[in-house]
Structure 1
Amino acid sequence: MFADFEQVELQSAEVICRSGERMREVYFPTEGIISLVTTLRDGSRLEVGSIGHEGMLGSSLVLGVNTSAQHATVQRSGMAWRLGADAFQRHLRKNIALRGLLSCYVYVLMGQLAQTTACSHYHQVRARLARRLLMTRDQARGNQFHVTQELLAHMLGVRRVGITNAANSLRDEGLIDYRRGDITILDGAALELASCACYRGANDMYERALGSLRSAPRSRGADEASARRTAHKLSG
């Protein structure tokens, strides 16, 4: 039932859960963006995935695993719908169609994790930065958003000077405007050409499994209607 959901506001830099911790709630962002981060023993961090309006946090529960494999940190503040893990699993057991749909999402997320790992190893910083900015545009559903160079450096696992040089290159070519963390994408088509093929590959994977939700702009009213449809599915 929709009453099982609670609307919450995600705060920027908020840690929702840590690697190895038990998942006590699942989250369906409508405006915010959640980063999935892997941290090594030496403190190095790398974003391996992200979740916006197109996904959910807590997909491991679909596989029957109630612990988180990554740190989940809020990249961009905004609203989300939250549901207790026990209630979520109870609805999953009763609703075969929903379980099938979310299994497709788990497949997409696993593909994203694998693709991000390969991208980080083989592709240049400039192309990876273009890819990440395009992903943020899609998840924020707008060409203007705020993200600092320090955060981008953590996302991409590179030194801040590398982000500075890549961002300056994109700005000099007229693809973006960048002022004190406020980014405006000026030429989305050209930015896609500057990006590595991983951006289109991730979107193609999503569309094959779940449709074109990732790139479809929606209003807050549409988000709430979508959440109500999800709640209806959960209630069987």
Structure 2
Amino acid sequence: MPHPTFFNLPEEKRSRIEEALKDEFAARTYTQASVDRITAAAGVSKGSFYQYFVDKLDAYTHLVRGLMSARIDLAGTPPPEATFEEVLTAIVLGSHDFHRRDPRGWAVLARSLSDDAPAILDSDEALSEDIRQWTTTAIAAGQATGELRDDVDPGTAAWMIERVLLGVPHYVMARFGIAPDHAATTGSAFDQPEIAAVARDLVAMLVAALAGNGTPGRRDAGTAQGTPLGAQNSD
């Protein structure tokens, strides 16, 4: 996690550094990326960079985590009025919207699946605590209406969904032979019907695993109450 000095910077300077990080990691793989180029583009010294971040990996993790949360784009929103299945489908298939909103951010996330990149998306640092809290709250809301089964812990269910959704891009790219550098420049593969079908199958399996009986339910008194996913990981 970045040092407190980074978060204490004026917003304009912090944004300039983050834009420089995005430019560098959008254009190059992790091993090719250079701290020297990042600091030159941001207009800060190399010494200052290490006052803000532990190292290149720390800066990269911060960038990928922020972009992944922006890609999902749920933090701060109320629990959904749409069905659980509709929400999951929108998250999985909505990658083309993120590509249009932030092409460089999309390129960073695509290159994060390269063989030489640190496995950020496989770690608990892939998403912000706000996203994890939102998912847990949304599941609890679905349980209250009976849409989702109420005999599972919301935090555990949210963790399962997070792991599956974070693994979808890597699975799709490996199955269909899509190279990360190609995906970085060509946009969302989920626009292709055969890949969209795989995504919908994954959503259907998640929904089937958590589907309720359609009536409001009450958790069994002996079942442990759920805790926010964010409580499972602290920075």
TM exceeding 0.5 = no
Indicate the structure (1 or 2) with the bigger Cα radius of gyration.
Answer: 2
Q: Which has the higher helix share?
A: 2
